[in-house]
Structure 1
Amino acid sequence: MTLTDALATAHGRKDIMGDSYNDGAVVAAALFFGFIFFLFAVLYYVLSSLFLMKIFDKAGVQGKWRAWVPVYNFMVFSKLGDLSPWVVLIAAGVAIVLAPLNLGFLGLVLFIVATALAAWRVGLKLQKEPVWVVLYVLLSIVWLGINAYDKSRWNPAIAPAPWAGNGFFADRTVWQGIPVQPSAGYVAPPAPGYAPPPGYQPPAGYQAPPAGYQAPPAGYQAPPAGYQPPPAGYQPPPAGYQPPPAYGPPSTEPPAYGPPSTEPPVAAPAPEPPVVPSPAAEAPLAPPATEPPTTEPPTTAAPTTDPSASGDTTTDPTAGGAGETPKA
């Protein structure tokens, strides 16, 4: 091998080593920047989800988990901005499909435009001027943070969106747990002679009245708590109807209630059986028999002489003992 060949061989080896070194540096730089991009992506995801959760809470969205689902959270955000959520989903799908063809930026641009339109409408409902949408396009994370933690309140009663009559961009979906935004952007007319004070903000979750709503007349008093509207077909009473007087408690007090007596009721005495006369009882005496009158004339008694004068004694047959009647 000549000197020239040796020098050429050595130079070729240096070229190979240099190329390998350059390739390794490129790979290391790509890994480093990829790691940095991954960290920023994770940080953006966490912060944006946290800020969206606060905005959803202001809008009355139920379920904080909705803010932590990628893509779905911005679909909910678009619904709050009166934009169809399917537009956001299509933009995300286009970006994913065209990414292998190095055309994913087209879907990314469509995604940014769709969410910017929704951010414009959401900003109006949070009392932000339309110029705030520029901040969303340049630094969306800052826009989300300001609207999440400021003292603004949700007010859906704003002017209708320019695309409200478009069947593709207008939101016609109804999802459970997400308040339906007024598609026509109806604003309730103020009562005659009434103007809200400066800086007044409606409460969170305020729902605009339906179309055709008429303000109550002056002096209207709200019904008491628990009032139930009359059933369908109810006819009001005729003019001059007087309601019956109010019912009052009775004037006499009811008798005091006492506990029932524990003593058993006294039984009535049993009736005595009738007295049956015994056979040994004496029979009633029969009335004395009357003797029939005699037809014989009454006898005339012979005159008697005083026994003491004549000296004759007679024995009284009724006197006890036997005696002789002295003879005359």
Structure 2
Amino acid sequence: MSLLFKEGQIGNLKLKNRIVMPPMCMYASDNSGELKIFHKGHYLARAIGGVGFIIVEATAIEPRGRISANDLGLWDDSLIDAHKKLNEQMHSFGAKTAIQIAHAGRKCTVEDETPIAPSAIAFSDNKPFKMPKAATIEDIKNIKELFVKTALRAKTADYDAIELHAAHGYLLCEFLSALSNKRDDIYGGSLENRCRLTLEIAKELKEKVDLPLIVRISADEWMNEGWNINDSIYLSKELEKIGVDSIHVSSGGNQEKPNKPLELKPMYQSDLAKEIKKEVNIPVIAVGLITTAEQGEKLLEEKYCDFVAYGRELLRSPNFVFIAANEFNQKELIIPSYSRAF
């Protein structure tokens, strides 16, 4: 049997295969933050297509936490019901689901919102980016509460897990990096201090929300003197200590112009996942230009990761899982409605 189709587990969540749809912003909502018809079709198609674990795209904890005015939000109870209905549909095809709860920080480009960040350092001098306000201690306390409230709404909406977004240059990622965090209080300076907010939020989510918790990180921001794999190993170990159930390993996004050599080739982030997997005992999800069943199988066989996230490939091919099942001669995994195609 292919390792891709072997059952897996994250916390107490059992998954029918090792194929993950990672969160990918669709920018298909409006200023309301609501799920639209597009989202329902988009996510349900991947559940019908056999994906074991679907992580819904970055969903803002407050309006100024959006990347764009077209992001999803879950900052109000009125938004719960549509997610609940979507989960019911995805679950009916055997998929398990998570939602990535997020705050854009200084990368918020919503016209009528003032971004907030660890320090008053803009992501870019170019529009649509703006100079952010440096967060006060009271702001930080409020943001922590908003993450927990959003996660509780996600639980009410019947998500099976939560993913905390601490990657790609958004708010928590900004706190982690010494290049975007110039604070001189307990949330800045040392590596320990810069990791504090992410760890505090993760700890509260584990204590107050009874769901498996995944944390997505940028394992390297691709900058000399910036956040790197050694910092990520430290953070991952600390996250494991407080009960986080999985680490989702991406990279980049915190700097407009990275200055480390970076070749965007197939599986280019997988080495980062492997380094973290060596150091923790919780499952690791690898992601980044993984496009074939053969590549995913290699990553699992050679212990780069425990789960394989296919992003762009699942955009191109909602039935990628069935294509992979056919390649590995496991045609019994293809639903009868589509079996004539293989």
Same fold, TM-score > 0.5, yes or no: no
> What is the TM-score of this pair, normalised by structure 2?
0.20
- Structure having the higher Rg: 1
> What is the TM-score of this pair, normalised by structure 1?
0.21
Structure with the larger RCO, 1 or 2 (CA within 8 Å, 6+ apart): 2
